Structure 1
Amino acid sequence: MPARPLALLAATALSAAVVGLAATPASALEFLRGDWTVTIGARGAAVPVFEGSDEMRFRPLPIFSVRRAGTRSTWKAPDDGLRLGLLQHDRLRIGVSGGFRGARDEDQSNDLRGLGDVEWAGEIGVFAEIWASDVLRLSVDVRRGFNGHDGVLADLGVDWVARPEPAWTLSVGPRVRLASDDYMDTYFGVTPVQSARSGLPVYDPDAGLRSIGLLGSAQVALTQSWTAMGYARYDRLMGDVADAPLVRFRGSRDQFGAGIGLSYSFDVSPFGPRS
């Protein structure tokens, strides 16, 4: 997918949300009043040292989500990232999403030698998810990066979610990831200077398909507030990412990940009771 449609989608959705809240501050405050259910936690994950690497490392990751108290309990996939649900109607939920990408330093791996450092990156955007049935969820998340990269990312997922026991939730489903030129250049491009230092050929990737994959997870409600989870993931790098010299000569198209985590849910009323 070209970079322009991704950028326009993210910019339009974010602008609409910001303008709407700014134009009606009283309505926005009233909307925020009342009880909200907040879920926080942490998980430890085994992930590639860098995207495209064939080496693994341990990484701590946050768990966070917010929904209106009393609304349908929203199942959260391990790769949903940071999400704040602002609008919910029946089976549709829309809100703001965020992500964080750690810095990529040359000294993290010999495979990165000569490519220079990439600073940490924050990502902010919008998401939408809809339950097509009681067991099938469709999700899309579009984010724009800042600091480390200025690219636009789009993640699409389908999850089949089963609850064989009241306390247990099992899921499995495919994933598709897209990225713009800026993201591709930052993490997979090789400039003439980097080529001279690293020995890799010059490479200028285009926007498009980044990877396809499969994610499976298991969650168990330990109490009404505490939930434990575990998951495993496989991604196959595609298109210009798979053809990148960093992946072809120093990494792998096959990307694996796994993790376990623990979260806690509670109700709060940060803006007072609803009138």
Structure 2
Amino acid sequence: MSIRLAMTAALAGALFLEAASAQEAPLAGSAPGTDLSVRLGIGGIVQPEWEGSDSYNVVPWPIVSLEYLRLPGIGEFGGQRLGFSIGPSFNVVSKREQFDDPVLVGLGDVDAAVELGLKGAYEMEHWGALLAVRRGFGGHDGIVGEAVAYGILRPTDRLELRGGPEITFADSEYFDTYFSVTPAQALLSGLPVYDAGSGFKSVGITGQATYSLTDKVDLHARASYTYLLSDAGESPIIEIGGSRNQVTVGAGISYRIDLDLFD
């Protein structure tokens, strides 16, 4: 069954190195002398079977976070997170197979895609914003991205809540791959011919909670709602066999590993 891995958005954020000055302190709670802090974990996510699907399934949610890195003679990355930061953005869209859903029959399979790019973020104590742009390789060759603004609440020393609005965008290469219907596909599928454009793809709201059981063990929860816009939501693939409304809910647990590499 083809699955669009929404959970990899979390993985993308986890792999994001926030640039910090050499004067910043190491990650709070890390052991003295730590050169590398990595958080590893696992969870599960309920999400649409493919982008625009009205059917849901449960998939694994890998939690991988490079939280702090010290390179002698170069500087520190991670640790405190206030201010501006820039780093890589990564996402995966898994293969969409035409026999996953009756509405997809005749459209052909879409190979898995890897999206690579950059993101920039600015974060203060109680709010933040980020912009990410990526290019696809494999299943699609388009340009995609998202802009997010979020608030930050810390009701206790152990609990952190983040949430806010998100808007996503994509170019015509991406829209054509996942939302257009060519004349040949229309003949095979029975769907009307449709030429998707480009621009804003969805709007929504996303939130996450992190609870620290110990200085190393965290519990994670995340949820999001998105609404497919314009040429995405108006595609006959979505109107006839899917839904503009997309919901994702997940939970997991992680453990932070601190390593002393350079003594």
In the alignment, what sits opposite 1:36? Answer: 36
The reply on whether 1:124 has 2:116 as its aligned counterpart is yes
The TM-score, its normalising length taken from structure 2, stands at: 0.79
- In structure 2, the partner of 1:99 is 91
Residues 140-193 of structure 1, C-alpha deviations (whole Å, 9 max, x = no match): 111111011111111111111101011111122101000111111111111111
Task: Provide the C-alpha distance between the structure 2 equivalents of 1:127 and 1:100, rounded to a whole number of angstroms.
Answer: 16
Return 5+ residue gaps in structure 1 as ranges. 1-33, 71-84
Match in the other structure for 2:159? 168
Q: Does 1:244 align with 2:235?
A: yes
Matched letter for residue 128 of structure 1: G
Amino acid aligned to 2:262: P
Correspondence 1:128-147 to 2 at 5 A: 128-131=120-123, 133-147=124-138
- Asked if structure 1 preserves the Cα contact closer than 8 Å seen for 2:40 and 2:65, the reply is yes
Residue in structure 2 matched with residue 54 of structure 1 by the alignment: 54
C-alpha deviation, 1:87, in angstroms = 11
Give the aligned partner of residue 19 of structure 1. Answer: none
Deviations 1:74-100 (A, max 9, x none): xxxxxxxxxxx6898851221112111
1:112 maps to 104
Tell me, in whole angstroms, the C-alpha distance in 2 between the residues paired with 1:147 and 1:245: 24
Give the Cα separation in 2 of the matches to 1:140 and 1:40: 25
SS in 2 for 1:125: strand
Distance 1:184 1:134, change over 3 A: same
Q: Name the residue aligned to 2:226.
A: 235
**Matched AA of 2:120:** A
User: What is the SS of the residue equivalent to 2:186?
Assistant: helix
Measure how far apart 1:225 and its partner are.
1.2
C-alpha distance in 1, partners of 2:236/2:55? 16
Q: Distance in 1 between matches of 2:209 and 2:82?
A: 25
Alignment-mate amino acid for residue 109 of structure 2 = D
Residue type at the aligned position of 1:102: S
Gaps of 5+ in 2: 1-33, 71-76
2:182 to 191, 196, 204: 191
Q: Is the 8 A contact 2:103 2:189 kept in 1?
A: no
Cα distance, 1:217 vs. partner?
2.0
Cα RMSD for the two superposed structures: 2.1
CA contact (8 A) 1:173 1:215 kept: yes
Q: Does 1:273 align with 2:257?
A: no
- Matched residue type, 1:47: Q
- How far 1:40 moved relative to its partner? 2.2
Q: Identify if the C-alpha distance between structure 1 residues 89 and 216 changes in structure 2 by more than 3 Å, giving closer, same or farther.
A: closer
In the TM superposition, residue 103 of structure 1 has moved relative to its aligned partner by 0.6
Letter in 1 for 2:97: D
What SS class does the counterpart of residue 165 from structure 1 fall into? coil
State how many pairs are aligned: 224
Alpha-carbon shift at residue 65 of structure 1 (Å): 2.4
